[in-house]
Amino acid sequence: MTNPLSYAGKRVVIAGCFSGMGEACARALVDLGAEVHGVDIRPSPVSMASFTELDLKDWAAIDHVVAAIGGEVDGVFNCAGLPQTFPAADVVAVNFLGIRHWSEQWMPRMKRGAAIVSVSSNAAMGYMQRVPLLREFIATTDKAAALDWVAAHADDVADGYGFSKEALAVWTQMRSVDLIAEGKRINCTFPSPTATPMMKDFEKIAPKMVFDFFAKPINRQATPEEQAWPLILLNSPAASFISGVCLPVDAGFTGGVLTGEIDMAAFRASLSGGQ
Ligand SMILES: NC(=O)c1ccc[n+]([C@@H]2O[C@H](COP(=O)([O-])OP(=O)(O)OC[C@H]3O[C@@H](n4cnc5c(N)ncnc54)[C@H](O)[C@@H]3O)[C@@H](O)[C@H]2O)c1
């Protein structure tokens, strides 16, 4: 029997392989025998089949790099992202618009059975409350029009982080409907706080108690590897019937919130009370 978890001989691309989850994912995929092609704004420390410097804000560069890597792929791993310490328009341009454009360019090059996985965030867990608004934004497929939309909806977009991750979650689910007809899948993950370089940026914009709360019930941050393995699983044939899923990778946080075992309302009240 063929091992459905094997990556031996598989050809994959990964965006965001300089540090954190993307670096961990690239290392694991190389160890598993995949031909790994990485892109990032900074050179990756991982030795792989190819690395190309690419800023996901630059759509012309994305088109060029996809054509230069070329060929067909078995998996697309989207780990690149910006925290909300950057301007909101840049955050949305990388975390949603860039990831979407990069993924759309790979879609025609995906073999039957291939899959895309993106890292969203549990910061997006409330996306269901504003699907119509997110669909309106997602319908702006032109980059300039999308950035105009962002500028015109400053209150909804806020710091750009949660909004971009919600858009990624909704687009992932919408896109899964058409892609499965071609035998291709698309999913995303909702990680809880993870010990990567981005955490330093998060800690600049919110007090430690926020990250301690989101790290419940395990009461520690994930390692980058603990976020990388679910991505590798979702893009493997072992997950052949999983598409359009936003998978919490949070050691029980989402389940606790959805069932009331973890009291989100009390936490919000404690924040507004300044505690
Ligand atoms: N660390 C957390 O607690 C956490 C929680 C939930 C979701 N996330 C998400 O996980 C993903 C991975 O982040 P991480 O935590 O590993 O942090 P990280 O900062 O280590 O990784 C982000 C990567 O994206 C790359 N990148 C940034 N801007 C880019 C651009 N314009 N073009 C191409 N690459 C770019 C960076 O160079 C880096 O390699 C991100 O999408 C992040 O939003 C992180």
191 lines ligand 1 (CB under 6 A): yes
- CA–CA dist 106, 208 (Å, integer): 38
Query: Per residue in 227-257, pLDDT tens?
Result: 999 999 999 999 999 999 999 999 999 999 9
74 lines ligand 1 (CB under 6 A): no
Burial bucket for residue 260 (CB in 10 Å: 0-12, 13-18, 19+): exposed
- Measured in Å, residue 112 CA sits from the centre of ligand 1 at 28
Query: Per residue in 153-186, pLDDT tens?
Result: 999 999 999 999 999 999 999 999 999 999 999 9
Nearest Cα residue to 236 out of 30, 21, 74, 100? 74
What pTM does this model have?
0.98
- CA–CA dist 19, 74 (Å, integer): 23
Predicted local distance difference test score (pLDDT) of residue 35: 98
109 lines ligand 1 (CB under 6 A): no
Instruction: At 88, list the tokens.
Output: 């909101």
- Best probe residue, ligand 1, of 21, 39, 62 (max atoms within 8 Å of C-beta): 21
- Best probe residue, ligand 1, of 54, 78, 198 (max atoms within 8 Å of C-beta): 198
- Measured in Å, residue 250 CA sits from the centre of ligand 1 at 17
61, 91, 250, 253, 257 from 218: Cα distances, Å? 41, 29, 8, 8, 13
Decide if pLDDT at 201 tops 80: yes
Predicted local distance difference test score (pLDDT) of residue 273: 66
264 lines ligand 1 (CB under 6 A): no
Predicted local distance difference test score (pLDDT) of residue 42: 98
- Measured in Å, residue 16 CA sits from the centre of ligand 1 at 6
Query: Per residue in 2-57, pLDDT tens?
Result: 899 999 999 999 999 999 999 999 999 999 999 999 999 999 999 999 999 999 99
Query: Per residue in 103-124, pLDDT tens?
Result: 999 999 999 999 999 999 999 9
- Measured in Å, residue 74 CA sits from the centre of ligand 1 at 22
Which CATH number is correct for 11-206+222-252, 3.40.50.720, 1.20.1330.10, 3.40.220.10, 1.10.238.10?
Answer: 3.40.50.720
Confidence of residue 275 (pLDDT cuts 50, 70, 90): very low
Decide if pLDDT at 147 tops 80: yes
117 lines ligand 1 (CB under 6 A): no
More confident residue, 274 or 261: 261
Q: Are 182 and 115 in contact (CB under 8 A)?
A: no
Decide if pLDDT at 92 tops 80: yes
Confidence of residue 272 (pLDDT cuts 50, 70, 90): confident
Instruction: At 32, list the tokens.
Output: 């598993």
User: What is the arithmetic mean of pLDDT over 68-94?
Assistant: 98
